[in-house]
Amino acid sequence: MRYEIRVEGHMSETLTRAFPELDHVVMSGQTVLYGSVVDEAHLYGLLARCQSLGLRVMEMRQLPE
Amino acid sequence: MAGLEESGPEASSPRADPQGDPFLRTRFAVPTRPATFLRRERLVNHLDQALLTPLTMVNGAAGAGKTLLVADWAAGRDRPVAWLTTDAADQGCGMFWAYLLQALRSSGVPLPAEIGFPADASRVDHTLLARLAADLSARDRPVIVVLDEYDRVTDPEIAEQLEFVLHHAGRGMRLILVTRTEPLLPLHRYRAAGDMTEIRAAELAFTSEEAAALLELHGLRVPVPAARALVERTRGWAAGLRLCALAAQESPDPETYLKEFEADRTTVADFLLAEVLKRQTPETQDLLLRVSVLERFCPELANALTERTDAEPILAGLHRGNAFVEHLGHAWYRLHPLFGEILHAHLRVRSPLLEPELHRRAAEWLRRCGSLVETLGHGVAAGDWEFTAGALVDDLAIGQLFTGLRSDDLAELFSRMGPEAKSPATDLVRAARELSRCRLDRGLTHLRRAEQSLAEERPTADGAPGLAAAQLSCALLEALAARLAGSPGRAKTAAQTAEKLQEEVPTHLLDEHPELTALLMTHLGSTWLWAGRFEDARAALTTAAGCSGGASTALPREESLGHLALIDYLNGWLGRAERKALAAMTETARFGLPRASGSGIWLLVLAAVAVDRNELGQAQTLLDAAADSHGAMRDPVAAAGRAIATGRLLLARGKTRAALEAAEPAVAADVVSPWAEGHTALVASAAHLAEGRPETAAKLLQAVPDDQVACAVEAARAQLAAGRPVAAIDLLDSARPVGRTGPAVTVRASLVRAEAADRSGDSATSRRLVAQALHEARRERLRRPFLEAGPWIRPLLSTGPLRGLAAGWLTPVPSPHGGPPRLEDQLPAPVVEELSGRERDVLQRLAQMMSTEEIAADLYVSVNTVKTHLKSVYRKLAVNRRHDAVRRARELRLL
């Protein structure tokens, strides 16, 4: 399954390395992380990682395959 | 229960956790507040409510200021607060509760010794929680417990147990959870009852006034409207504001800087951290990045990672300035959790290849100064298997791959080891993992390779302490391999080698690992037992059974007691066998070890005893239990034990063909086991006899080594059935039961003689012999021989004094209206043994439809203890289900 996670603010290149499994794009005050998510556990892990990095998650949704 | 724990070496408060490592004192330290900490009265006042509600939850994102708020509040209490920073590394319930109990003790809350403590890292006895709750509930003033970083507790079982203790401690406990995520507790129930104080993210957020006050503490004067903009930008996030202050402080024009920050659109922590980081000296930056691979660190460990010597002043300075690090007391620090993650990301960008090397250095430092578990963790993270396996073997901890305590964790850790890792230690670990799953051939391949490379290693000048430990580990694995192969010669050699090596290994290592000797002796004893050398086996097994060391030796103690029980059973002593088997069960039940780790030989013995007592349903239950839960250890003794119990049960049920099949030896072993062969022949012979083929039966037993009394008795029975009473008596006379033979054999012998006498018309002798057999069998409730004896015995049992001897345990108590009691009327069997007080307690609760768990909680005992009581209640009432037990108890007016 593919997901995108929208976080508030522009993430630095360094910080995006904390999500090596996801691609990212920066746009209008937000950063979108997107890519394949292995399973639910991975999904929750990504959310926890956002929290650990002090990121504010604005939106998360599954993408059509 | 309390008596058990008091008698152990663990009687007083323990200095080590269930894994044998010293407690990390830093986890009990209330974090110190930095000089720039801002006390916010509105939050402190709200937190005061925590004294009035059982549960308080402080809930907010990383860096929201939760921990410091509670730490500040706790420091202002007039009584001790038990503080525990939970740790993701120890997910086991046992570790959690061991640490929580220790947190209570180290905060000065006196706990009576009889509460005990968990011996196993992954389990906790329910009665311990009940005792803790009972103790807390009896207090006048509640004990305040803070669990910081509770979001790391992901095991729902821990949440359940915490809820249990909180509920039953009543007014005696006030629990404060500091957490990033909602805990797995039934919060709605607490909320609905008004039993909960909640401080959540919105409340933790800084107001503009508070932000201005915080910046002022950092020497920055900012008017409230400007502060409001900052609060908007950071959403009142404490960590953001703090970083902001730090960055502005070092900027030439703080005010402009703050304005720029407001306008910037990057993520707050990311931007600010990079800003603050780049203003540090290169040495400080380097240190911060490197320690980001560690959970916690002291200056020496940080120095080991940086290969410099300046960690102490740098860390002290960082802590003073409230940047990045928190002081945990005792010269240990940790990175602020939020910054730790970001620093880790920076490390990956700046020095992508450094990480494994840092883990390796940490592992090496920890191996010298820290715990084995942390060493192994970093060793694995470094991908250095030679090092990691070497640390395990040098520490003489290889036995822990078997003992069920840490075995799962260790197996998991080493499961990622690839074939490229080559050292004697990695081969030993591979051999141990294969042998623990009874893969003898694969295990031996690895073991032989390890032995070979160890033989080539020469002891170096400094004594090479690792070599002896590795060789001793080899000897242990060799003994296990010998046990699995049924090879007494190899087991003996291994034990002799081990004995010599034990003198070369440092004494403290042997003391720390009592499981090594216990396992070795169990393997040796099991192999002797297989070879039929009962006295040698008994000596080794008794040594193993007598080993101290609590949980670490529980499994070998269980196994050796189970083997001793088997010896008693084979010698015909049912009562003794049963007592030892139950003692074996108690050993592991006490520590809540996983059932699957042992061979479960005691269950097989209990099943065989139940067959001899004609408690066939019970026997089947026990056999099923053994098959379900004891897959791990498949050694020849266990296989033979299972064949005997199954074969005898099928015989008793009249399924002779199935019995013949079940009794066939299904094990390959280096030497022949006389008793295993004997019993196979015995079951086969009895099956043929039951199907009316006495000649075949007699022939089968001729091949058996002749010193087995049980076989001689069965052969005599076959001869008698074939119409050769003289030959039968001759057989019995020549195999005169020796002193060690118990009732299960002698009663059968007496009955053969009695039958012979009966046939020759000598009814007086026959009666005398049956009376003697009844006397002997009665105490053991040995019913099977009488049921197998054939129709001739029935008239004897229903008349005269013999009727009285048999009544009540073998035949029903005669009804007052007379009529001959029939042997077939066995069911329902009469109660032959009084119920104990505790069994009565359990039975009464059973009648009230309480579940096993409820009974356990009600009686303050463990679920396993209740199950044990239930088993003996079932046995004594001759039933298999709780419903039947209640019905039967009502019939007998026990309720």
CATH number of residue A36's parent domain = 3.30.70
Cα B428 to Cα B451: distance, rounded to the nearest angstrom: 9
Instruction: Out of 3.40.50.300, 3.40.1130.10, 1.10.3720.10, 1.10.10.10, select the CATH number for domain B837-891.
Output: 1.10.10.10
The helix/strand/coil state of B383 is: coil
- Helix H or strand E segment including B199: strand B196-199
Best of B237, B270, B275, B341 to disrupt the A interface by mutation (most A CBs within 10 Å)? B270
DSSP class of B22: B
Q: Which two tokens stand for residue B178?
A: 């500091």
B431 phi and psi, to 5 degrees?
Answer: -60, -45
CATH code for the structural domain at B2-204: 3.40.50.300
> In chain A, which residues have their Cβ closer than 8 Å to the Cβ of B348?
17-18
pLDDT of amino acid B461? 45
A54–B349 CB contact, under 8 Å: no
Contact of B238 with chain A, judged by CB distance below 8 Å, is answered with: no
Is the Cβ pair B180, A17 closer than 8 Å? no
| Domain of A28, in residue numbers | 2-63
Can you tell me the distance from the alpha carbon of B469 to that of B41, in angstroms, rounded to the nearest whole number? 60
Question: CB of B61 within 8 Å of any CB in chain A?
Answer: yes
Instruction: Name residues whose C-beta falls within 8 Å of residue B739's C-beta, 6 or more positions apart in sequence.
Output: none
8 Å CB contact between B555 and B402: yes
Interchain CB contact of B678 with A (< 8 Å): no
Cross-chain CB nearest to A9 (options B62, B265, B345): B265
Domain count, chain A: 1
Task: Quickly count helices (H) and strands (E) in chain A.
Answer: 2, 4
Q: Is the peptide bond before B828 cis (omega within 30 degrees of 0)?
A: yes
The answer to whether B232 faces chain A, any CB pair under 8 Å, is: no
Model-level ipTM above the cut of 0.90:
no
Q: What is the pLDDT of residue B445?
A: 92
In the DSSP assignment, the letter for residue B110 is -
**Do residues B410 and B439 touch, judged by C-beta distance below 8 A?**
no
Identify the contact set of chain A against chain B, taking CB-CB distances under 8 A: 7-15, 17-18, 29, 31, 49, 51-56
The confidence score (pLDDT) of residue B824 equals 42
- β-bridge partners, A31: A7, A26
Which run of H or E residues covers position B143? strand B143-148
Closest-CA distance of chain A to residue B334, Å = 15
Q: Give A65→chain B minimum CA distance, Å.
A: 29
Chain B nearest CA to A37, separation (Å): 20
Number of Cβ within 10 Å of residue B117's Cβ equals 23
CB-nearest partner of B269 from A13, A29, A53: A53
pTM of the model: 0.73
pLDDT tens for A26-58 read: 988 899 999 999 998 899 889 988 888 888 899
- According to DSSP, the residues that pair with B57 across neighbouring strands are B177, B198
CA pseudo-torsion sign B135, B140, B146, B150: positive
Chain B nearest-CA residue for A16: B345
Chain A residues close to B181, C-beta within 8 Å:
51
Chain A positions touching B349 (Cβ under 8 A) are: 13-14, 17
By Cβ distance, the residue of B62, B240, B270 closest to A52 is: B62
Residues 602-621 of B with CB under 8 A from A: none
> What is the residue-wise DSSP string for B707-754?
T-HHHHHHHHHHHHHTT-HHHHHHHHHHTPPPTT--HHHHHHHHHHHH
Give the distance from residue B406's alpha carbon to the nearest chain A alpha carbon, in angstroms.
25
Nearest to B637 by CA among B498, B529, B759: B529
Cis peptide upstream of residue B465 (ω within 30 degrees of 0): no
Q: Token digits for B685?
A: 């012979």
Residue of chain B with shortest Cα separation from A47: B181
Nearest CA in chain B to A55: B267
Contact state of A54 with B62 under an 8 Å Cβ cutoff: yes
> Taking CB atoms and an 8 Å limit, are A7 and B267 in contact across chains?
yes
Taking 70 as the pLDDT cut, the residues of chain B under it are: 1-15, 19-20, 88-91, 322-323, 404-406, 458-465, 549, 588-598, 629-633, 665-666, 705-706, 736-739, 813-833, 893
Q: For residue B268, what is the nearest residue in chain A, using CA coordinates?
A: A9
Those residues whose C-beta lies under 8 Å from the C-beta of residue A1, and which sit 6 or more positions away, are A36, A37, A62, A65
Q: pLDDT band at residue A23, thresholds of 50, 70 and 90?
A: very high
Neighboring chain B residues of A51 at a CB cutoff of 8 Å: 61-62, 180-181
**Residue B205 confidence (pLDDT):** 93
Taking the Cβ of residue B354 and every Cβ of chain A, the question of whether any pair is shorter than 8 Å is answered with no
Per-residue pLDDT, B821 = 43
Mutate: best of B266, B273, B334, partner A, most A CBs <10 A = B266
Strand residues in A1-65 grouped as ranges (E): 2-8, 23-27, 30-36, 57-63
B349 reaches A (C-beta below 8 A): yes
